[in-house]
Structure 1
Amino acid sequence: MTHADPESPVARPTPVSAQDVGNVLDHYYYLPDKLRVVAGEGVYLYSDDGRRYLDCSAGTFNLSLGYAHPEIVETVREQAANLIHVTSKFQTGPLNDLVAKLAEVSPPNLTRVHLKSASGSDANEGAVKIAQAHTGKSDVVTLFRGHLGQTLAMIGASGAAFRRTPFPSMLPGVVHVPDPHCLRCFYKQERATCGLLCVERINDFIDYASTGRVACVVLEPISGNGGNVVPPDGYLQALKDLCEERGIILVFDEIQTGFGRTGQMFAADHFGVAPHMMTFGKGLGGSGMPIAGILTEDRLTGVAGHHINSTFGGNVLAAAAAVKTIEVIGRPGFLENVRAVGAHVTARLRELAAKVPFVQEVRGVGLMIGIDIVDRTGRPDARLTNHLAELGLEQGLLLRTSLYGHGNVLKVRPALIMTMREADEMCDLLERLFLSVA
């Protein structure tokens, strides 16, 4: 399909009257954006009026191979003709293949695969249950800006008070600790002399703010919704050392960072630190198939299935797509291209930052990049961040902001298949956008 093809669904969208649209919108729980999309291809999305948009966010960071990747489409078509879903108590070829693939590409200590999760929230909650069951302890340590999911328990474990305000029931025993955010260090330190105080002080939180019975530390190696905060060198290793000294299970939430986003298969590979458990989802679906799960060390097996299973977990159709996704990402040159394109985009955005007064920092790894937006006094500016995203839509860019619009970071995380030409197109559009408001 091409944008100019008169036979394409983009050029000839299904007619929908204004009255029809109005009637449909009356039934939504909350109103969707006014944009009505009809097709996608690669890094581009097409609306019913024939406009093309460059998606800087790969859907919700889950379209690692872009829209309608031909190999994913063909894989799904072939699998759907045979078997879409079966209870996960049975073996299937796609599930067996996926378990083998995940064990092969994960850090060597993570040898057990649990695929009976239907979402990232579900996987993170399952990981906490496993940690609690194995340690006999209850508390969970997470980061201020952490985003671990949408269930009540994971909202409670996530950072940001605005997410917890409406709900009276929360996971007990959650201890939130400061992020390793060097730009806005909680402890007002400089990295050259701080001695990784953000890790050392976690001991104080455990000793004085917890029940003394900490089961696990759960964090994203690079914060996703929290503002694309990249930890300083040594942070994750020091955190693992702390966990092992105190008998705490370290869980990496790699739902956003996994499967090539950082230019390595996992962020754990990029940082050279293997956790005791890892959760995954989003990008494993390739072009949007819903799938999530948990990788654990062998010692953490044994939790009964009825505690951590989900009806649609281990979906056969999604598993087939996931096997193909791992195959594509693992091909020679794929991750090298992610690293090269990511470095190119980061360099161009840093050049752009020097031309406008409201960008304080461009940070990221691979194609997981954040643009930190501030006001004239240097304070985080969520209003301007949201304004840029809204203007971007008018100019053909799909942008997402941090903390559900409460944050000050524009998230640049396009599909991993992005070419240098497409990267330059994206950066040109971002430059035009930023200069228009400078």
Structure 2
Amino acid sequence: MASDTRSWLTRMDERLAPSMAKDHPNLPVVQEEGCYYYGTDGQTYLDFTSGIAVTNTGHRHPKVVEAIKNGADRFTHGPSGVIMYDSILTLADKLAEIMPGKIDCFFFGNSGTEAVEGALKLAKYVTERPAVISFTGGFHGRTFGAMGVSTSKSKYRKHMQTQMNAYQLPYANPDLSAEENVKELNKELDTLFDHQITPEEVACMIVEPILGEGGYIVPPAAWLQALKDRCEKHEILLIFDEVQTGFGRTGEWFASQKFAVEPDILAAAKGIASGMPLGVTAASKELMQKWPLGAHATTFGGNPIACEAGIATIDVLQEEKLPENAEKVGRYAREELEKLKEKHPTLGTIRGTGLMIGIEIINPQTGAADGGGLMEVLDLALEEGVLFYFCGNKTEVMRMIPPLIVTEEQIDDGLEKLDRALTRFESTS
């Protein structure tokens, strides 16, 4: 097994672009199951990343695997429109039942980025307006349109100047009250509309209802409602990027339901099909009908096997009550992390909702964000047998996003491993 690990790492360096293969931690694995990865080193690793919030039903859930196998017995490819098949229609029916508000019509793509691109194109097409407003710290994808509204890290845009007509405003500040956040938002919008662009030129505002890659910041519901109110006032479409917050992650099907704020357009992916490549741009039928043939298209989007996996994913989430489990176990995890914080001075703010939890790593002497320290903690945690991931502008926030099947016992196991990792880190700092 050790020789396999060395061989894999050598082949990776030779054959894969660094932009693809140099993420953290490059753990060579031979299998995944439930909440676990099995390494080429013979070790078992507790996974608190879910493939970056994708395998909400757990790795290789039997019902999802069976659906993929059965789907492959009938189709491997569409393309939708040239032919039509039941899985894409059944998935659309199931999505219509769980989506917020009036959203009931869908365009399927392959990823979260494509879902966002579709949302932006839909908004611009139906409003015939040129501009977009996004929010500092947001991450919406890597293609030029999505990147043009992403500001979680400047390095993602380096040498990649985009022609997207986008304006950025500050995201909600967790250190301010709900009332103060709403006041600041309206002030920023008034300034923007007075000095840079009129609201009549803005097609849409796009926002993550909970900031993901930008640091797992949970805004007040009143702040999101204020966004909705301003959009309605100026006939601007509101897009919620729920690529990371969707499919039970926050304790509800979608974060918009958690905050009781309904977007006009919703972009979703990641947890939609338990690891199969699938994304969706969603809106009301009334809005979608204004987006005619030729305005947008896809070859691989809505792949029949991916749609079968999406159907099974929704069934599992419903049958096993996984959104409810995310709420219950997530609350338990945050309580246990607050206890751990009393023991470890390097732990800063613990924030999140459901099983979307951010753990800030700080310098105990200064209270400043410690991105370098966080990467050391991640490595030590991996040595102890638990896998976390990072986020935040300074890479200072540890993402804790386990599969929604996770138990309180597995939370205890993972946090005991984190406890040991933090103790080792603090002993050498």
Do they superpose with TM above 0.5? yes
Structure 1 residue 71 corresponds to structure 2 residue 57: no
Residue equivalent to 1:198:
184
Match of 2:87 in 1: 94
SS at the partner of 1:371? strand
Q: 2:156 aligns with which of 150, 158, 163?
A: 163
- Structure with higher helix content: 2
What stretches of structure 1 of length at least 5 have no aligned partner? Answer: 1-12, 184-189
Q: Say which SS state the counterpart of residue 55 (structure 2) adopts.
A: coil
How far apart are residue 297 of structure 1 and its match? 2.0
Residue by residue over 1:330-356, the C-alpha shift from the partner in whole angstroms, topping out at 9 and shown as x without a partner, is 226432221110000010011111222
SS of 1:239's equivalent?
A: helix
* Residue type at the aligned position of 2:236: I
Code of the aligned partner of 2:164: P
Rounded to whole Å, the distance in 2 between the matches of 1:195 and 1:181 is 7
Contact 1:380-1:408 at 8 Å conserved across structures: yes
Q: Choose the corresponding residue for 1:389, options 373, 378, 402.
A: 378
2-structure distance, mates of 1:233, 1:174: 24
Which among 32, 35, 39 is matched to residue 27 of structure 2?
35
1:377 has 2:366 as partner:
yes
TM alignment of 1:1-400, pairs within 5 A: 16=4, 18=6, 22-23=10-11, 25-30=13-18, 31-32=21-22, 33-89=25-81, 90-115=83-108, 117-159=109-151, 160-168=153-161, 170-183=162-175, 190-191=176-177, 194=180, 196-200=182-186, 201-210=188-197, 212=199, 213-286=201-274, 288-301=275-288, 302-331=290-319, 333-375=321-363, 376-400=365-389
- The answer as to whether partners of 2:376 and 2:425 remain within 8 angstroms in 1 is no
**Compared CA separation, residues 149 and 19, structure 1 to 2 (3 A):** closer
**1:173–1:210 CA contact under 8 A, matched in 2:** no
Give aligned pairs, total: 416
Q: Give the direction of change, closer, same or farther, for the CA distance of 1:210–1:389 in structure 2 (3 Å limit).
A: farther
**Paired residues of 1:173 and 1:211 also in contact (CA < 8 A):** no
Contact 1:112 1:296 in 2 (8 A): yes
Please give the root-mean-square deviation of Cα atoms over the aligned residues, in Å: 1.9
Q: Is the 8 A contact 1:367 1:413 kept in 2?
A: yes
Any idea what SS the aligned residue of 2:148 has? helix
CA distance in 2, matches of 1:332, 1:413: 18
User: Is the partner of 2:420 in helix, strand or coil?
Assistant: helix
Report the CA distance between 1:300 and its aligned residue: 1.7
| CA–CA distance in structure 2, aligned partners of residues 206 and 429 of structure 1 | 50
C-alpha distance 223-377 of structure 1, shift in aligned 2 (>3 A): same
Structure-2 separation of matches of 1:42 and 1:352: 26
After superposition, the Cα gap between the structure-2 partners of 1:197 and 1:373, relative to the gap in structure 1 and judged at 3 Å, is farther
Which of 386-395 and 226-235 deviates more? 386-395
Contact 1:250/1:277 (CA < 8 Å) preserved in 2? yes
For 2:197 and 2:330, locate their aligned partners in 1 and report how far apart those are by CA, in whole Å. Answer: 39
Letter in 2 for 1:422: Q
Instruction: Report the secondary structure of 2:398's partner residue.
Output: strand
Q: In the alignment, is the contact (CA less than 8 A) between 1:138 and 1:173 conserved in 2?
A: yes
- Normalising by structure 2, what TM-score? 0.92
* Contact preservation (8 Å) 1:175, 1:210: no
Q: State the SS of the aligned residue for 1:241.
A: helix
- More off after superposition, 356-365 vs 98-107: 356-365
Aligned equivalents of 2:133 and 2:5: distance in 1?
51
The amino acid across from 1:393 in the alignment is: L
User: Matches of 2:3 and 2:357 in 1, distance apart?
Assistant: 38
Aligned partner of residue 110 in structure 1, secondary structure: coil
Deviation at 1:21, TM superposition (A): 5.4
Q: Is the 8 A contact 1:179 1:198 kept in 2?
A: no
**Residues 34 and 423 (structure 1), Cα distance of their counterparts in 2 relative to 1, 3 Å cut:** closer
Given that residues 37 and 45 in structure 1 are in contact (C-alpha distance below 8 angstroms), is that contact kept between their aligned partners in structure 2?
Answer: yes
Residue 385 of structure 1: CA displacement?
1.5
TM-score by length of 1: 0.90
The whole-number CA distance in structure 2 between the counterparts of 1:20 and 1:419 is 33
Contact 1:220 1:252 in 2 (8 A): yes
Q: Secondary structure of 2:343's partner?
A: coil
Query: How far apart are 1:263 and its partner, in Å?
Result: 0.8
SS of match in other structure, 2:206? strand
Q: What displacement does 1:434 show? A: 1.8
Cα pair distance change 1:360/1:20, threshold 3 Å: closer
Check whether the contact 1:127–1:277 (CA below 8 A) recurs between aligned residues. yes
Q: 1:264 to 1:34 in 2, by over 3 A?
A: closer
Q: How far does residue 195 in structure 1 lie from its aligned partner after superposition?
A: 5.8
Deviates more, 1:260-269 or 1:380-389: 380-389
